Amino acid sequence: MSKPIPLPENDQMQAKKASDSFTIMNEIVLPNDTNTFGNLMGGRLMYWMDIAAGIAAGKHCNFPSMTASVDNLSFKNPIKLGNVVHIEAKVSRAFTTSMEIHLMVWGEDLLHQYKYESNEAFFTFVALDPYNKPRPVPQLIPETEDEKRIYEGALRRRQVRLILGGKMKPDDANELKALFIKP
Set out the domains of the chain in order of their start, with CATH numbers. 16-142 (3.10.129.10)
Please check whether residue 119 is in contact with residue 46, taking contact to mean a CB–CB distance below 8 angstroms. no
HSE-CB of 66 using CA atoms within 13 angstroms: 8
Residue 6 reports pLDDT greater than 80: no
How far is C-alpha 117 from the chain's CA centre? 17
What are phi and psi for residue 64, nearest 5 degrees? -60, 145
Distance CA 94, CA 60 (A): 9
Please give the model's pTM, rounded to 2 decimal places: 0.87
Average pLDDT score, the chain = 90
pLDDT tens-digit series, residues 61-81: 999 999 999 998 888 999 999
How far is C-alpha 6 from the chain's CA centre? 29
Q: pLDDT band for 128, please (50, 70, 90 cuts).
A: very high
HSE-CB of 173 using CA atoms within 13 angstroms: 21
